[in-house]
Amino acid sequence: MSRTFFREECEGDCENVGWGELVKWRELQMKIAIILGTRPEIVKMSSIIRECQRKKLDFFILHTGQHYSYEMDKAFFDDLELPSPKYNLDVGSGSHAVQTGKIMEGIENILMEEVPDVVLVQGDTNTVLAGALAASKINVKVGHVEAGLRSYDRTMPEEINRVVTDHISDYLLAPTGNSKKYLLAEGIPEEKIFVTGNTVVDAVYQNLEIARNNGDVLKKYGLTEKNYLLATVHRAENTDDSKRLRSIFTGFEQVYQDLGLPILFPAHPRTVKMIKEFGLSVPGGISIVHPLGYLDFLQLEAGAKLILTDSGGLQEEACIMGVPCVTLRDNTERPETLRVGSNLLAGVDSNRIFEYAKMMIDKENTWDNPFGDGKAAEKIIIALE
């Protein structure tokens, strides 16, 4: 049934068209552009891609290459059993303005050719902002997955990206009621907001099963389940400030000396570079290793006794998998983790990192998961339909 035929037949007699037929028509006709550019976005969009496949929707994936070229990410798509992107922009690194501008230009050209009904973006990266701006300026609807997160720290580029994207989006796909509350307080109409749960829950449930069938990464590092800590530090406010980075390492050293559990630290090359530039020594008990593939890292998360991180995504994943977390930041856009007790906000004070790690190390994982039931992708597609 063509779109024209539907309009002609239904204009005066829509009562005779059943919901089953209406939804079927919409499923057949709706064309979705899924825009992503970083590995966390691939992870959080993976369940939406699978839902589009399951419902046989008309969709395509556009990879901007914000962090890596598609060639570097190809194995990532393969490991997660996802279809390859139809388009690859390979914009590479650059200043915020340069990178965002390149992405906008590339996306606009593709959207003009493809003419999708809706563009889906996820999170708070330059890809998200560029995708939303490019689509909205040519009157293509925008759906923002993970809308309504707020740190209320405008010094973070991510905060600017997510706020602007929320205010130009047509469908605000909020992960929690708390996110909806923030959006309403900013004057966004309630009819635009859909509380769907967070796709990170879908991703953890679906991808952890794939990861466990992929081998045992704990053996590779001589670790046993619940007998090690997992650490990550990647945010610029921590890695590019010698005082903050030194304090974090001092905190790690105190934690190891007291608890006696090894700390595995998969470190981004930039973090390693800054450690060397600042002349920092790596304390005993901390093993710095190369960045890991997502499936291996997911296994390490699930098996850790405690996670020490400045990553927003890890705060969520730790909460979902029942692993206590200490966050090495002064604020968080995941306050739900603090409320349910899965996470403590330590900042970078070494003594506080040590104290909070001791408090959380034997924390029972009896908290309720505030991020949904693992059906966020299904709810997002229903909202669009």
What is the set of active-site residues?
234
100: number of Cβ within 10 Å: 24
- Contact between 150 and 176 under an 8 Å Cβ cutoff? The reply is no
d(CA 126, CA 161): 7
Tell me how long the chain is. Answer: 385
Listed residue (293, 240, 309, 311) closest to 271, CA to CA: 240
Q: What phi and psi, each to the nearest 5 degrees, are found at residue 343? A: -145, 145
- Contact between 338 and 323 under an 8 Å Cβ cutoff? The reply is no
Residue 118: its H or E element: strand 118-122
3-class DSSP state for residue 307? Answer: strand
Name 104's Cβ contacts closer than 8 Å, sequence gap at least 6. 130, 133, 134
The CA distances from residue 184 to 1, 22, 147, 197, 290, in Å, are 38, 30, 12, 17, 42
- Contact between 316 and 334 under an 8 Å Cβ cutoff? The reply is yes
d(CA 313, CA 318): 9
34: number of Cβ within 10 Å: 26
